Amino acid sequence: MENLNGRKLVEAGDLCERRNGRGVDLNRNWSVDWGKKEKDYDPYEENPGNAPFSEPEAQIMRKLTKSFEPHIWVNVHSGMEALFMPYDHKNSTPSGLASRLMRSMLQDLNHHYFQDKCLVGSGGGSVGYLAHGTTTDYMYDIAKVPMAFTFEIYGDLSASSKDCFKMFNPVDKVTFNRVLNKWVATFLMLFEMVPSRIDSIHLAVSAVKWVPIGGNVVDGTLIGDSRESKKIEGLELGMQELRTYFRLFLLSSVLLMFMFCSRISKSKCRPTYSNLSI
């Protein structure tokens, strides 16, 4: 359990507590757009800490992510029913193939298990407020996890804002089992979908065409009937080639100098003969 001290506060009766034991919201303690405050900012609700990754819980999760480079990230919340993708800190979703695949997956899940009733899209564009320094945005933008999601798995909109347990949790067995079974099936379908989608991204990346120094890289990806071209500067590739040529030049120069010196040395060591006759 990552937020052990925060959980202790909840179990002690503070059912609306969402922060850790030091009063920091761990889902605002990550580095993407950290610390930005909206007009409705409430430090009790979303205290981001003194700096990105100031909290050991966030540091642990970051270290864990770096240790095995996951293909998928799902941040599970409650408060409503929604299937979100980046971004949380702005009212838009990423561009490119991975973003389109994520949205397609969420739409399929929504149609299959929720009769298209879940909100689908960016968290920042769907919930009515922007969230800065969130885990999902970090996973997608910095950790480069190709599939990053936030799932809101339950919410009782009729509950009082002071009754956080009822607002965020099913309170009867029938509802609990229904929510549990539906989301377990959703996750199983998601895990079945991911490998083929990841392969599509890898194939698109491998299709990139490289050109010589000073040129551009063009990535053409065909999605359905539409084709988009993305130009990527080839400067870094050119610099790598220059470094290689320079190393080869130095090596050749050293070898030539060695051969030249060896030849001089041999000429000095040749025996000399006197013109005196015996």
pLDDT at 276: 40
The structure tokens 């605002």 sit at 28
Confidence of residue 198 (pLDDT cuts 50, 70, 90): confident
Confidence of residue 269 (pLDDT cuts 50, 70, 90): low
Statement to judge: residues 51 and 163 lie in one domain: yes
Active site residue 152: yes
Statement to judge: residues 36 and 115 lie in one domain: yes
Position with higher pLDDT, 169 vs 209? 169
Residue 278 falls within a domain, yes or no? Answer: no
Statement to judge: residues 127 and 163 lie in one domain: yes
d(CA 100, CA 245): 41
227-235 CB contacts, 8 Å cutoff, 24+ apart: 230/96, 232/208, 234/210
247 to each of 254, 255, 257, 260, how far by Cα in Å? 11, 12, 15, 20
CATH no. for residue 18? 3.40.630.10
pLDDT at 103: 96
Statement to judge: residues 89 and 155 lie in one domain: yes
Q: Which three-class secondary structure state does DSSP give residue 83?
A: strand
pLDDT at 216: 43
Position with higher pLDDT, 165 vs 251? 165
Statement to judge: residues 100 and 135 lie in one domain: yes
Average pLDDT over every residue of 5-15: 90
Q: Which of 16-25, 37-46, 150-159, 172-181 has the lowest mean pLDDT?
A: 37-46
pLDDT at 208: 45
Q: Which of 189, 206, 223 is a domain's end point?
A: 206
Q: Which of 55, 57, 81, 152 is catalytic?
A: 152
Q: Is 164 exposed, middle or buried (0-12, 13-18, 19+ CB in 10 A)?
A: middle
Confidence of residue 189 (pLDDT cuts 50, 70, 90): very high
Q: Is the pLDDT of residue 107 over 60?
A: yes
Residue 34 near residue 141 (C-beta atoms within 8 A): no
User: Which residues form the domain of 234?
Assistant: 208-270
Statement to judge: residues 17 and 122 lie in one domain: yes
Query: Which neighbouring-strand residues pair with 122?
Result: 85
Domain count, the chain: 2
Residue 31 falls within a domain, yes or no? Answer: yes
Statement to judge: residues 53 and 149 lie in one domain: yes
Residue 275 falls within a domain, yes or no? Answer: no
Average pLDDT over every residue of 71-96: 95
Statement to judge: residues 49 and 169 lie in one domain: yes
Structure tokens of 169? Answer: 């949790």
Quick one: residue 227, left, alpha or beta (phi over 0 = left, psi -120 to 50 = alpha)? beta
Q: Is the pLDDT of residue 76 over 90?
A: yes
pLDDT at 199: 83
Global model pTM greater than 0.75: no
d(CA 14, CA 23): 13
